[in-house]
Amino acid sequence: MQTVTLNNGVEMPILGFGVFQVPEDETERVVTDALAAGYRHLDTAASYGNEAAVGRAIRASGIARDELFVTTKLWIHSGGEDGTKRAFDASMQALGLDHLDLYLIHQPFGDYYSSWRAMQDLHRQGAIRAIGVSNFHPDRLVDLLEHNEITPAVNQIETHPYHQRMTDQQVMTEHGVQIESWGPLAEGKNGIFSDPVLTAIGQAHGKSVAQITLRWLIQRGVVVIPKSSRPERMAENFDVFDFELTADEMASIATLETGVSVAFDHRDPAMVSWLNSRRAG
């Protein structure tokens, strides 16, 4: 598996498996299938309500802990220094792990400065190998890192052919922050699986649109965490390391940029209110 090296030297697999919107009662089976397909990087969150099921699948797999890279995330209302440490303990208990590979602030809202101070403490204590953020636009990311000791190792943001985040990635690169894509397949929207540009490139390589999209992101140095509940799709998404896109193909995909989210805008006041109204679990 290809890896990226985070700003503290930790190696992170560039391809992982996400469980956003996977129901709790299906998660153990789905993660078990993903591990069987070869995935060793798992991404969950307190707000997904399925950390315990991810933990059960990990334990049942028999895979050595040092072969896995596990991420979970802190929700808005668990913020503050004490709240963050309680939330971290709850996530670790649910996952059944003795340490975490990556802990992310899930949203750039609430008292996330206090949360970051607590996460820095947990990192220093060795409970977390790397800490980072999710859904931070460049201005909030730079403000956070300039006022704290530890620079976020990762920023996980919506990134796909229709919302490419090139400027965001440039800012992250300048500050040593690794970009990670959630929704790498645009959540199936914008007709991505029948997109003529992606389809034509796929035909040239004997690959699916999903494989072309993931390969395009990987060649940009973007960590990807596609999700699927079907074992055959998991295997397909994992099979992206035996070919390479040309510079012209990379440029063709770059023309698909719309600059618009297919999910939600973290700068929309109504969306900020909605996210703040949600509770984890």
Query: For the segment 167-181, what is each residue's pLDDT rounded down to a tens digit?
Result: 999 999 999 999 999
**Coil, strand or helix: which one is 50?**
coil
Q: What is the pTM of this model?
A: 0.94
Residue 264, pLDDT score: 80
Complete domains list, the chain, with CATH: 3-277 (3.20.20.100)
Percent of the chain with pLDDT over 90: 83
Q: Is 48 a catalytic residue?
A: yes
Assess whether pLDDT exceeds 70 at residue 225.
yes
Confidence of residue 135 (pLDDT cuts 50, 70, 90): very high
Q: What are phi and psi of 208, to 5 degrees?
A: -80, 165
Confidence of residue 213 (pLDDT cuts 50, 70, 90): very high
Distances (CA, A) of 116 to 7, 79, 280: 17, 9, 18
**Tens-digit pLDDT profile for residues 65-111:** 999 999 999 988 777 888 999 999 999 999 999 999 999 999 999 89
Residue 104, pLDDT score: 98
Task: Give the chain's mean pLDDT.
Answer: 94
Assess whether pLDDT exceeds 60 at residue 158.
yes
Catalytic residue from among 48, 103, 112, 162: 48
* Residue 198 one-letter amino acid: L
Residue 54, pLDDT score: 97
Beta carbons within 10 angstroms of residue 148's beta carbon: 14
Beta carbons within 10 angstroms of residue 222's beta carbon: 22
Residue 77, pLDDT score: 75
| Distance, CA of 238 to chain centre | 16
The alpha carbons of the chain give a radius of gyration, in whole angstroms, of 18
> What's the mean pLDDT in 271-279?
79
Write the DSSP symbol of residue 165.
Answer: -
- DSSP secondary structure of 211-278: HHHHHHHHHTT-EE----SSHHHHHHHH--SS----HHHHHHHHTT-----SS--TT-HHHHHHHHH-
Beta carbons within 10 angstroms of residue 139's beta carbon: 11
**Coil, strand or helix: which one is 73?**
strand
What are residue 3's DSSP bridge partners? 13
Phi/psi region, residue 177 (left: phi>0; alpha: psi -120 to 50; beta: rest), is beta
- DSSP secondary structure of 136-156: --HHHHHHHHHTSSSPPSEEE
| CA within 13 Å, CB half, 75 | 19
